[in-house]
Structures are given as structure tokens and as C-alpha cells.
Structure 1
């Protein structure tokens, strides 16, 4: 078999003036001429390192280990930055900029002289944005995640990001002082890495491993563990081999890969944000999935991993118990084990030697941690295009519930009213927040798991039914209905809910309905007036104009469908 001509040779292998220009300026970094003579694959390292993105702040060290592996395998590593999205610090929400970052990634890969690329990602939106962008180019691609932080310790107990919500409730009710709150901050975030529970960051790391885009154990090795650097080194070796094999993303990301990812997410009790991101990735690579697939394939798998927020433990603990390969092995009879991965082997071959070392952490299909897991997709007159809930993180007694609506027109009204003593609310009510969807906020923020009123927390109430067109942090929990589509800002039925309306939730039968007559619904639709969207320039204007709805992945319509790496922007 003849060796495929390297893409980078179109830049560095040219003769005359063109070759001179491409090579000469690169040589000011001290690279010798033989690196440009066409034999060494150029490997782009797409690095989302940023001190504004704490989850990814250790990526300089990780990139160094990755480069060692690339050099060892005969490759030529060249690192490049792209927009980094720090979930906890970027305003108004990182999700607003996911599509922008994906465009940055796509065009950076397409425009530069690389034969393959390693995507370095960790914080929530960095993973989907990098994968979305790379999928639109379709070079040999491998994902290297940053890993979860070590579990924190506070007052003798293990803590992680899921505890933020509990601490906030204790602070509101006076059980935790401001000084203790500050002490907990440092105790929780005590090492490099992303969130310690199965939040969105770890869910995304598991997603890419399940899709076949990452090496085994990518999802669970702690960021501070030296084995994370070993994984990076091995990723460097493997990406060079992938270029020689011409193993592109499109050869891995088929329909079965996406079905695997959905089932693995169910086994882990992963983040609801997974739905938006996997849908967007599928549409970029040209695979047809929709909300019904999430419900269908999630329903096949119980909760296997005993990890917060659906379980009790942490991703670090899951690694010691056998990691994601051990979880995959428990559901091997359900997933497509014959699917190809970046190792050049099938998923089944990758997990053949996996073992479980702790049955408190990893259950089985016969004896799962919980019978209900994954994503339940709801339909009804309140969400004709769908809404989602994570049953494994909800209260079982609330999965079938009818209650009176307490409506907040936007996040500001919620903040102003939620702790007012005269707020007309009790534990049987249904909290409704409008105008926090893709266009309404804009960017669809993680405010769906609304904190409960202080007066109910003081009574010992820990959960209520909550509904919004926004998102929830993967570290969050509760009986929270999210991603109501179409959103209220564009006239979706959620916009028509009034205080005192009766809402019926029936998760077992996958329904969510506003109990008013069709005539009343039509009357309210005619009276509806859309909110005035405040932004009118730059990227946000583009976002508001071209973003699609939650059930479509909240992506830009003009970015869907892979265009392929051979597309030329110019003739060089």
C-alpha cells in the first residue's frame, strides 16, 4: 500500500518562493530544515489552556507530555491556541460562545499545515466545541481530556462541586457561615483538573471515550495523577500512527458510535448538557440523531456507576474501581462493541482486559446502582418539541406530580422574589422560569435547577418540580425539567404559563402538560408579545439570528454538515 501524501507537504514541501516563505518564518523558532522535508507528519495540538479557564490551567504540562510522544513516534508537534471557555467565570454563559469556539477550531485546523490534530480539552464547553470544529474538517483526530480534580475534604467529609448546591442552601438558612463558606471553597478545589463529580466536564470526557475518539481511561484518570501525563504521551504516539493509517473522524463517528455514547451516558448518570452537545456533534459529522434516540437508548441502561450527582462517590473513585473501561464491560451486551476507535481496534477489544475492583462503585445490569438512569424525554402541550429530565438525579416521589405553577418571567424576577416571605408557594407547587433558552438569555444558562425558597428550606424541603427552557449544571440534581422546546422567548408554550395554572408531570409516561383548554391556549398565543432581545451587534447578533433550538443542538444552521478537510480556502 502506497503511503498517502501528507497534507502538510502542500505548505512545507514546496519549491521556490512559496516553500521559502512557508518554511523560513517557522525556522525562527529553531526548527531544523529536515523537519520540513515531508517525512514527518505535522501534528497540531489544539490547546485550550487559559488561566481564565481553571479546569484547563495545567495544560502546558500536559502538552509537554503529549509532544514527547509525538516526537518519539516521528511526528512534528506544533501547538496552537483557540478560544478557551471557562465555565465558572465567563459571562453571560459559556454556552453562548461554544459555537464561536467551534468556528475558531474548524478554521484553525483547516487553514494550517497539519496532518492530524490532538484536541486538548477539559472544561465543559471546550470538549464539544473542539470536537464540533474538528468534525467539520475531518482529519485524523484524537481527544485528550484534562481529567477530574482530586476529591476535596471539608470537616472530615469528601466534597466536590455537587456540594456547592448543598452549601448554598445551608448558607441561606444560616447553617453555614461566610467564613466556613470560604474555607469550603479552598477545600473543594484543591488540585488541578475539572469538577470531581460526573458533571458536564467528566460527562464530555466519557462521551469522547465512548464515541471512540479517545484512548481508554481518558475519562477518569485524575488530572493530578502522573498516569494522566502517561496517557498524553501515548496519545502523542498514537496520533502519528493514525495519520499514517489515514484514520479520520468520519471512519469512527458513525451512527453506532452515537448510540454507544447515549448508552454510556445513561450508565454514568451523565449531564443533561450531553444531549445538546452530542446532537450538535452528530449534525456536524452528518449523522442523524434526535431526542427520541436519547430516550430509547437511555431506557436500555440502568445506572451502573455510583458517582455523584446521581450516586454517592466521585470520578476519582471510579477510576480506582476500574474506570470507564470497567463500566463499558458491564454493558458490553448492549453497546456496539464492534465499532472502530482511535486505537485502531474496536471498542470491544479496548475493554477486553478491564476489571471492576469495587462493586460499591460499579454495578451490573442485574444489580445496578439504580434502575432508572440516562435521559427521559418528555412531550406534551408545554413542550411540543421536547423537554428533558435526568431521573437518576430526581426525587422518585416527584416523577409523577401535579401542581400549581409559580412563574418567574426571567432570571432577574426569580432572584428578586424567591426569598420574599410573601411569595405564594409551597412544596407542592411547580416552579417555572421563562426566557432562559438559547435566544432568551441569550446563551441558555445553567439556571434551571432553581434554588428553593428560604422558607421552604427552613421547613426541611429539599426538592420541588422545576421547569425552564434553560440548562442545569451537570453537577446539579433534583426534579428539574430542562431544555423546554421551543423556548418561551420565541413564543413557545412555556411563555403562556400563568401563576396558578396547573401543570402535570408524568415521567413514566414521558409527558408534560399545561392543564388548560385548547381554546385558552389559542387565546394566550394570540395575546403573546415576544421579549425585546437587547443585543444588536457582533457575534451575539449572529448567534441570535442563526442559532437553532435545544432539540436541534443549539448550533448554527450554517455549520451543520461536514465539509471535509480537502476544501481549499485559497490556492496557496
Structure 2
């Protein structure tokens, strides 16, 4: 793998030819060769006026010198904490970033924000805090950067979800977009797969192992061996789950350095990236190249393209919409469908495939995939990036995909001829829904509804003694597995509906990885479908449709469905319908009343009051 050190942060000699990129490149490069802009224009508000003597006294107190007060100040935000493999190494990475900033002649101050581990909270009410932490991360970075008058930012997200850095990464990018000061994201990196007796494992292997144990596929000792070997060190879950999806999208969007998304967390190249980030950030300051110059309609489309090509998580739909809004752009569900219609699914990566991100790293990493997609005319190479060069200029520096590799298919031999993310509308989802269809599940499903008001209610429905049932993740999966395996009607085509799990109803739109893991572990991924107004984990696969809008809590039709109603999902026609007339739906609507909110105080209550719909990105600042 080529080192980032071979990429010079110096400015390229020539600008690309397409018009928008040419104008932007000309502007920023002209700024770089003329009088340099004031690099500390924000921190100068604190460091220069005599009236800010107390501010300066504090800075002297933390060790700054007179010379330091004249330098740009960089806020280094990380999501370090010890309780999670995705985040436990970020303090070390932040130290390397800080040292690189100092070597570049600037001042660096490290600070932390919050994180949530989904692998720990999955299947419990702790998952209600997951999505809201994205906006909390954005708010906290914006707060520190704004209050302290830092001139630029480098953010180091790990994984607020032990598998998918999904919330930390968009949270940091949303803060960058709001602030619009020169910024770079350094991805904490992917975990290496675990190995035992010739088999490879990851965190989703751990989730599915209990289902395999209950179904008799593996012994209890084999199950324990999966758990012991699923997380061998630091880093985000290794497949194309939400972490690696968002990291790849953000690199392609231009907000992180080449290889950031595919370099494993414990690879020495990750520390090289951290040390180099300061040099690139200094160039961004000199060029006055800011996030809103990089995050554009074209670069957002580039992000959508690589998500489709790699088979990325449906969570990316929520997060890209939110990122777009942070820079004043409007991205819609229909934009994702347009890209999905044009871009084939090419990557044989987990959860639906064979390989993990470390394998992709070995054959050229994300830059090699970008190189290939540019060659095929699927990406806009004119978009600017944090290297100070365009996407196409970056691609020329790095080698293409390794000869003979088996991970990324050619366009003439795709896994699926169109994207796996499909946007469905119908009388069950008037404002849209998001399906993840890799092609292995088929494109059509119709069957009677089996309705649950929330994930926990599934337990009540399937337990012989619901009054005495204990709501634990293990018992939930155990009961689900027994139910799915023993109940033949599931195998005859039930459509499982889990509602009341939307942004307001959940609250927090928790993920339904536990039910999908149970279904897949039972071998029923093609036998039943699962619909929800909640989300799905990047590790979820099967015939699944989420983000159904409006959500049940807000009076959406999903809240009116009853057991036995026929639901039809036709991916070819982009339709999701319940077999009820508008009059029948209206009759049920008259009898319906919204359920009481599950919380009435604290952080989640504030989230309920502020959060927008899933189709609008679940943002909280509009």
C-alpha cells in the first residue's frame, strides 16, 4: 500500500477543466500564491486585543508563548473513550494529530465529545440515545470551536456505534459544515477481522452466533469462540457496515485524506495520516479552502455513488441528508434513487458478501475504487478535496485496483446491475422509505402482516408467559429464534412490522439489528420481510425496509396496519403498499390516537421536540 507521505501537500500546477471546479481551483490557488490570508483570523479575536488580557493570561497559563499567540489555533476533536474497541485508540491518534499540527507551525488544542456504543446498547433502550448522539456531537464540536475561536478543526471520529462510526462521522462533518472553517476528518480506522480455526469473524458474527446456537447450527463452545475472536483489537467493525460506509463516502466527498477510510486502525499508516493532517490543514488555511467549498451538490453525488458501488449502509441516507443541510444544501430521498438507478452494486463485502475493509485496503483501498469509478465516468473528478487538489488529481497519484482482485467487480459483471438502496413509496409510506436490497433476497415480496408495537412487544407476542418475561437481549433472540424456527407461518411469507421506533416514537429511531440477526440466524432471510419506522444497522441484511415515513408516532399509515393485512413490496416498481383502500385507512385513522411519548424529560425529550422526520435527515437545528 502506498504511503500518504508520497502525496505532496503542495499545490498542483494546473486546474482541471470543468467549469465549476476550474473557478474554485483558480480562486483558492490564486489566494495561495498572492498575499496569504490572515491564518489566525478567528483566534486573533482572543489573542490580539488588549481588552482580552484575561483570555491571553489563560493561554499563557496552558503554556503558550508570545510567538504562539500569533499562530493559527486548531481544535482537535476526538471521540475517545475506553469502553469500546472503535474508540479506545483515538487518544493516541489525537496525540499524533496534535504533534503534526505543531510541526506545521500551528497551535493545537485537543478536546473530546461523546460517543455511544451500539454493540453494547443494541437490543436495549440504550439504543434510543444512539442517533441523537450524532447531533449532540455536532453541537458540542460547534460549541467548543465557536466559543474558543479556533481557526480550524481536525476531528477524529471513532465509533459511537461499536460497528459503525455512523453517528460520530456525520456529527463531525455537520459541525464542520456549520462552522465553515478549514477542516479535515481523520477516520479512526477499521478493525482487523478475528480468526479462529481458519474462520474469520467480526461483530456481526457475534450477533448472529446466538441465533446459530439456538437453531442448533453451532455448539455453545463454538459460540463462545466466535465471541472471543470477533473483536481482536481497535477499530470499527470491518465489513461495509455504517462506519466504513460513511468513511468511504466522506473520503470520496473530499473531507478526509486519501486512504483514510480503508487504512486499518492499527496499521502504522494510520499514525502517518494523523501526523500529515496538520500539513494539509495549513495549506487549507493558506488557500482559505473551507468545507462549503468541498461539500457541494456534485461531491455529495460522488458520496452517493461510492455508497451504491460498495453496498453501503442505509444509515448513509439519513446522514448525507443531514450533512447537506449543514452546508445549506437540500438532498432528498429521490436523489438517492436517481444514483441507485445509475450505479451498479460492485463490492463483495460483508454483510452480504465475503470480504472486509482490510481486504479492500490490501488491493488498493478506497483511492483505487475511486480511480476505477472515475475511469468509468461514474464520479465527478472536478470536485475539490482537503488535499488542495481535485478528486481526479488525487486519483492520478495512486495506483489502481490490484490485478486479479476479486473484491470489486467490473461494471460488466456486477453483483446487481443497479444500487442496493431503493427508495419506496406507497400508501404505507407516503413520504418514502429506504430498502436495502442486494439482489439475493429477490425484488418482490407479499404476505400477511405480523405487527409489533415496538421491539419489546415482540417478546410479549411470542412468550408463553408474557407477564413474567424478562427483557434481555439474549432472551429476546432466544425467543425469536424458537418462534421463527417453530412457526411455519413465518416460513410461508409473513411481513414482520415493527412500529413505534421512529425518531419521535422510539425515541431516537433505534436500529433493528436484533430481529434481523434472529431472522438471518434462522436461515429465513428469504422467507420473511421486515418493515419498520426505525432504522437498520449497517450489519443488517435480508429483505428489510426501514425509515418508513410518516412514522407511527406522527400518525403514519404504518400505525394503522393490523395483523393479517396484506403488504406488498415491489422493488421493481418502487412501491410499498398495504392492501387497504383510502376509505379503509381513513376509518382506522379516525379511531387512532397517538400513543404517549416514552419519555417526558431529559435529553431524549428535547430530541423528541426538535427532531425532524427520517426523510429530512432527523436533524434538530431547523
Aligned partners of 2:82 and 2:239: how far apart in 1? 22
Change in Cα spacing, 1:422 to 1:325, as seen in structure 2 (3 Å) is closer
Q: 337, 347, 356: which one pairs with 2:401?
A: 356
Q: 546, 551, 559: which one pairs with 2:615?
A: 551
- Whether the aligned pair in 2 keeps the contact of 1:449 and 1:466 (CA below 8 Å) is no
**Greater helix fraction, Structure 1 or Structure 2:** 2
Q: 363, 371, 377: which one pairs with 1:321?
A: 363
Q: How does 1:382-401 map to 2 (within 5 A)?
A: 382-392=428-438, 395-397=440-442, 399-401=443-445
Task: Give the deviation of 1:15 after TM superposition.
Answer: 4.3
Aligned partners of 1:118 and 1:331: how far apart in 2? 28
Task: Give the deviation of 1:396 after TM superposition.
Answer: 3.4
Task: Give the deviation of 1:84 after TM superposition.
Answer: 2.3
Q: 479, 492, 499: which one pairs with 1:434?
A: 499
Q: Deviations over 1:423-478 (max 9, x none)?
A: 95334111111111111110011116724778x976x5343211111111101211
Moved more, 375-384 or 443-452: 443-452
Task: Give the deviation of 1:122 after TM superposition.
Answer: 2.4
Change in Cα spacing, 1:453 to 1:51, as seen in structure 2 (3 Å) is closer
Aligned partners of 2:514 and 2:318: how far apart in 1? 17
Moved more, 263-272 or 117-126: 117-126
Q: Give the total of aligned pairs.
A: 551
- Whether the aligned pair in 1 keeps the contact of 2:43 and 2:73 (CA below 8 Å) is no
Counterpart of 1:345 in structure 2 is: 389
Q: 509, 517, 520: which one pairs with 2:573?
A: 509
Aligned partners of 1:150 and 1:448: how far apart in 2? 21
- Whether the aligned pair in 2 keeps the contact of 1:448 and 1:470 (CA below 8 Å) is no
Q: Deviations over 1:308-354 (max 9, x none)?
A: 11321000000101111111122211111111111111111111233
Change in Cα spacing, 1:449 to 1:480, as seen in structure 2 (3 Å) is farther
Q: Deviations over 1:333-378 (max 9, x none)?
A: 1111111111111111111233111430122222334334341000
Aligned partners of 1:548 and 1:439: how far apart in 2? 9
Aligned partners of 1:367 and 1:423: how far apart in 2? 37
SS at match of 2:387: coil
Instruction: Please state if 1:64 is matched with 2:95.
Output: yes
Task: Give the deviation of 1:210 after TM superposition.
Answer: 1.3
- Whether the aligned pair in 2 keeps the contact of 1:46 and 1:80 (CA below 8 Å) is yes
SS at match of 1:299: helix
Task: Give the deviation of 1:105 after TM superposition.
Answer: 1.4
Q: 33, 49, 53: which one pairs with 2:66?
A: 33
Counterpart of 1:567 in structure 2 is: none
Aligned partners of 2:458 and 2:246: how far apart in 1? 30
Task: Give the deviation of 1:98 after TM superposition.
Answer: 1.8
Q: Under a length normalisation based on structure 1, what TM-score does the superposition of the two structures give? A: 0.92
Instruction: Please state if 1:10 is matched with 2:44.
Output: yes
Task: Give the deviation of 1:395 after TM superposition.
Answer: 3.2
Q: Under a length normalisation based on structure 2, what TM-score does the superposition of the two structures give? A: 0.85
Instruction: Please state if 1:92 is matched with 2:127.
Output: yes
Instruction: Please state if 1:214 is matched with 2:214.
Output: no
Q: 130, 141, 146: which one pairs with 1:105?
A: 141
- Whether the aligned pair in 1 keeps the contact of 2:340 and 2:418 (CA below 8 Å) is no
Counterpart of 2:154 in structure 1 is: 118
Q: Deviations over 1:135-184 (max 9, x none)?
A: 11110010000010111113321112332343132122133344433332
- Whether the aligned pair in 2 keeps the contact of 1:141 and 1:249 (CA below 8 Å) is yes
Aligned partners of 1:49 and 1:291: how far apart in 2? 33
Change in Cα spacing, 1:163 to 1:307, as seen in structure 2 (3 Å) is same
5+ residue gaps, structure 1, are 561-572
Q: How does 1:42-61 map to 2 (within 5 A)?
A: 42-61=73-92
- Whether the aligned pair in 2 keeps the contact of 1:449 and 1:480 (CA below 8 Å) is no
Q: How does 1:365-444 map to 2 (within 5 A)?
A: 365-392=411-438, 395-397=440-442, 399-416=443-460, 417=462, 418=480, 419-420=482-483, 425-444=490-509
Aligned partners of 2:525 and 2:51: how far apart in 1? 70
SS at match of 2:417: coil
Moved more, 142-151 or 360-369: 360-369
Change in Cα spacing, 1:12 to 1:547, as seen in structure 2 (3 Å) is closer
Aligned partners of 1:457 and 1:157: how far apart in 2? 17
Task: Give the deviation of 1:60 after TM superposition.
Answer: 1.5
SS at match of 1:55: coil
Change in Cα spacing, 1:33 to 1:181, as seen in structure 2 (3 Å) is farther
- Whether the aligned pair in 1 keeps the contact of 2:319 and 2:617 (CA below 8 Å) is yes
5+ residue gaps, structure 2, are 1-33, 160-164, 463-479
SS at match of 1:481: strand
- Whether the aligned pair in 2 keeps the contact of 1:43 and 1:240 (CA below 8 Å) is no
Task: Give the deviation of 1:275 after TM superposition.
Answer: 0.3
